[in-house]
Amino acid sequence: MDQCPIPTLLERDTFSKVLFNNVKKFYVLGRDVMCCYTLTEKFIPHHKDWIGIFKAGWKKTQEYYTYMWAPLPNNINEGSATQQEIQYKGYYLPNDDEHYYQFCYVDVNGFVQGTSTFFRICRGHMVVLNKEKVDEMEHLSEELYQENQELKDKYADLHEQLQRKQVALEATERMNKSLELEVEEKAAWEEEKASWESVLLQLKEYNQKIILEKEDMGIRVEELQTQLATQEKMKELIVRDQEKTE
């Protein structure tokens, strides 16, 4: 392969002018790998652009494991996206099944114009096992997502019930305060009523005493009237006797 023009340090651009498509999570060790990508309308390709396979954690574009020159599209139409693909031979690919890798599109000036998601290159049985594990994890993730949604719904329902109970509690507290005021007013009125009843009882007792005194005085008045009438009669008799004597 020709030596690729690579700057010493990575010069990062927006990474969004080239988009990688259908990147698998696992590739089988020793088998060819098809790399599919899209040149967006923002990007004009050059025949010295290249696509490398990098180990996760790379910092410089010269840290590629392998690369291939990116072919120019048959029809370069500026302002429209173009679908492209290249194929890596299996014997050029990493034989390390413990690390993750990704595709990176590097232009002629050394700028990274696009990166793919990460993938692993595993032995055949490991791909099956890893796929099963990924499927299991995805299934578990879906279940957790559903449970999370159910918990969110339950939380929303409980939160709504709690708000309603809070409103009812506040209304009950207002009613309790109102009743407490009424009880206090009634207690004060009862206390005042008891005081007035005591005064009324005293007045009744005093009135009864007055009635008894009045009855006693009536009797005495009648007696005095009788005595006075008797005295008047005696006085008349004396006056008559005196007149007769004269």
Hey, what CATH class is 11-122 in? mainly beta
71 within 8 A of 122, measured Cβ to Cβ: no
Please give the mean pLDDT across all residues of the chain: 81
**Would the pTM count as exceeding 0.75?**
no
| pLDDT-derived band at 132, boundaries 50, 70, 90 | low
Domain extents in the chain = 11-122, 146-207
SS3 161: helix
Determine which helix (DSSP H) or strand (DSSP E) holds 228, and give its type and residue range. helix 124-245
pLDDT above 60 for 49 = yes
Q: pLDDT tens-digit profile of 10-38? A: 444 457 899 999 999 999 988 999 999 99
Percent of the chain scoring above 70 in pLDDT = 87
- Over residues 46-67, mean pLDDT: 94
| C-alpha distances out from residue 9 to 6, 71, 91, 189, Å | 9, 25, 28, 93
Query: φ and ψ at 43, to 5 degrees?
Result: -115, 135
